[in-house]
């Protein structure tokens, strides 16, 4: 009878959340003690007081002042370098150029990797994207390819005419829109469309006509997808600070990231298939490819070079995006 009353008073979800909280708390305490023992012999930078269990200094950064102002006040107190805890992760805050130089020259390998974000797991092809890939064999191999083939001086020079051509075309379209009558033009949108066309021309060799219904659907998909991509990358996701919270998907960010990742991957896959068909047609006709865009270059390189972790299609899409 007593056991039945206890089950009625304490529901299963309450027991589950209570057990999970106790387990997380014990994990944090044990990890903190083991870390302190292993690093007790090393000289550690100072750490501001007031760190909470599990969430660290996040309440301090969420105070009334902006984060950079809060960090500036801490720098006045703790000096040129100090450590804060962002959830379960440590972050080194540097406040002088001398310390920054030491970090990125003498100890560059220690700081060469990148934090693993939920956004890059879903929208960056599981960290295959060059700008967000962790330091390792894959990143080094891809950096060599990009520096040698994509960002070389001759390659950059070959893109100048694309920028000039797009500027001229956009100005002609603007002039045609105005005609002989005054017209209101949203310049922010105009510059955004022109910049997007420059990027798409360099990556995929195509241009969107935003005033035509024929390609408006794909252009809008591209614009919306990239806009959502950069918005989600810049968000603070609780599970980035406390990975144990990932299964809760607080705020629904992970669900939205998966949706945006699917939309962008469909678009990149369409571009990739177009390039494969074009290359197959040219090979069948015995013709050269002519001017190559970024995806053409990557596909040609990856025919002969195999990277350590991802297939060639994934690398091409991730790097192009």
User: Do 87 and 177 lie in a common domain?
Assistant: no
User: Do 65 and 38 lie in a common domain?
Assistant: no
User: Do 55 and 37 lie in a common domain?
Assistant: no
User: Do 33 and 52 lie in a common domain?
Assistant: no
Q: For residue 2, what pLDDT is reported?
A: 44
User: Do 57 and 18 lie in a common domain?
Assistant: no
User: Do 49 and 33 lie in a common domain?
Assistant: no
User: Do 173 and 296 lie in a common domain?
Assistant: yes
Query: Across all residues in the chain, what is the average pLDDT?
Result: 81
Q: For residue 10, what pLDDT is reported?
A: 47
Residue 37 within a domain: yes
Q: Which residue has the tokens 């408006």?
A: 216
Q: How far apart are CA 2 and CA 293, in angstroms?
A: 74
Read off the DSSP letter of residue 211: T
94 or 161, greater pLDDT: 94
User: Do 193 and 99 lie in a common domain?
Assistant: no
Q: How far apart are CA 165 and CA 129, in angstroms?
A: 29
Read off the DSSP letter of residue 103: I
Phi-psi region of 40 (alpha: psi -120 to 50; beta: other; left: phi over 0): alpha
Query: Vertex 273, ends 270 and 278: CA angle to 5°?
Result: 125
Query: How many domains, in total, are found in the chain?
Result: 3
Q: How far apart are CA 134 and CA 124, in angstroms?
A: 12
User: Do 272 and 162 lie in a common domain?
Assistant: yes
Residue 57 within a domain: yes
Residue 124 within a domain: no
| pLDDT digits 0-9 by tens, 226-269 | 999 999 998 888 888 888 888 888 889 999 999 999 999 999 99
Residue 203 within a domain: yes
Distance between the two ends of the chain, CA-based, in angstroms? 63
Phi, psi of 116 (to 5 degrees): -85, 110
Q: For residue 255, what pLDDT is reported?
A: 93
Domain that includes residue 269, residue range: 137-320
What crossing angle do the helices spanning 213-233 and 253-285 adopt, rounded to 10°? 130
User: Do 53 and 35 lie in a common domain?
Assistant: no
Q: For residue 231, what pLDDT is reported?
A: 93
The residue among 86, 29, 19 whose CA lies nearest residue 55 is 86
Q: 3-state DSSP call for residue 135? A: coil
Residue 126 within a domain: no
User: Do 64 and 35 lie in a common domain?
Assistant: no
User: Do 27 and 68 lie in a common domain?
Assistant: no
The residue among 317, 208, 309 whose CA lies nearest residue 273 is 317
Residue 211's CATH number: 1.10.630.10
Whole-model pTM? 0.77
Residue 131 within a domain: no
Residue 128 within a domain: no
Residue 1, pLDDT above cutoff 50 = no
CB 137 within 8 A of CB 113: no
Q: For residue 4, what pLDDT is reported?
A: 44
């Amino acid at each position: 009878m007593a056991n039945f009353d206890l089950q009625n008073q304490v529901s299963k979800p309450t027991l589950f959340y209570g057990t999970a909280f106790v387990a997380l708390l014990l994990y944090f305490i044990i990890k903190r003690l083991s870390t302190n023992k292993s690093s007790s012999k090393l000289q550690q930078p100072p750490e501001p007081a007031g760190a909470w269990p599990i969430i660290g200094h996040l309440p301090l950064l969420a105070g009334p002042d902006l984060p950079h102002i809060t960090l500036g006040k801490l720098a006045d107190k703790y000096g040129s370098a100090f450590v804060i805890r962002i959830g379960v992760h440590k972050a080194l805050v540097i406040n002088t150029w001398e310390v920054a130089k030491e970090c990125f020259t003498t100890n560059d390998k220690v700081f060469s990797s990148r934090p693993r974000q939920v956004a890059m797991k879903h929208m960056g092809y599981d960290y295959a994207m060059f700008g967000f890939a962790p330091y390792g064999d894959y990143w080094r191999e891809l950096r060599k390819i990009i520096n040698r083939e994509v960002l070389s001086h001759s390659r950059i020079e070959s893109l100048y005419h694309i920028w000039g051509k797009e500027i001229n075309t956009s100005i002609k379209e603007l002039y045609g829109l105005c005609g002989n009558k005054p017209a209101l033009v949203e310049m922010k949108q105009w510059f955004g469309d022109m910049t997007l066309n420059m990027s798409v021309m360099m990556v995929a060799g195509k241009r969107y006509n935003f005033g035509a219904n024929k390609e408006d659907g794909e252009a809008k998909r591209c614009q919306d997808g990239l806009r959502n991509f950069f918005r989600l990358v810049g968000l603070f996701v609780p599970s980035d600070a406390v990975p144990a919270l990932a299964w809760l998907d607080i705020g629904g960010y992970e669900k939205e990231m998966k949706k945006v990742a699917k939309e962008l991957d469909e678009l990149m896959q369409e571009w990739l298939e177009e390039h494969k068909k074009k290359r197959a047609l040219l090979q069948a006709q015995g013709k050269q490819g002519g001017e190559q865009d970024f995806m053409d270059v990557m596909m040609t390189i990856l025919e002969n070079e195999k990277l350590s972790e991802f297939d060639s299609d994934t690398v091409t899409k991730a790097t192009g995006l």
